[in-house]
Amino acid sequence: MKMTIRRGEWLRGMCGLLYDRATGRLCAQGFVGEACGLSREAMAGYGSFADIAEAGTLLSPRIYDLFVVKADEAANEWGGDSTEFCSDSAELEYHNTRLADETMSINDSVRLDLSDGERERQLIELYAPHGVELEFVD
């Protein structure tokens, strides 16, 4: 599956949202969500697809496969106790997958030594094993 991220609409380098109404920008996961059929408005104000699932919105199977794990499966996803990654995990039904958290770590990083080119390379490598080919265009 090929997904396109348009650099001019790409929200990066800050702790962000899937879709930021104020700027009209999407984070990397937001572009994937949009390609999987989720509208920008459905993503507006949310930081992750697990947050959207927690709010009761039905997501596409591909979004669940990539980004969302049920609480009772979180330990398997994380190879142990998921509470070390989410302090309020006992109260939540849905959690981020490892892919979701690693995407946020790269996309939202405020490191000054992380160029956009390097950020793109890391995201492309991260998604490849999941059958997603990311393409960055101007």
- Which residues 6+ apart lie within 8 Å of 55 measured at CB? 46
- Residue 76, token pair as written in the block: 């398997």
pLDDT digits (tens, 9 = 90+) for 54-92: 999 999 999 999 999 987 776 666 555 444 444 445 578
* Domain map (residue ranges) of the chain: 2-137
- Residue 138, token pair as written in the block: 């101007």
At 77 the pLDDT is 61
Percent of the chain with pLDDT over 70: 88
How far is Cα 40 from Cα 24, in angstroms, rounded to an integer?
A: 9
Write out the H or E segment, with its range, that includes residue 4.
strand 2-6
Are 120 and 28 a contacting pair, CB within 8 Å? no
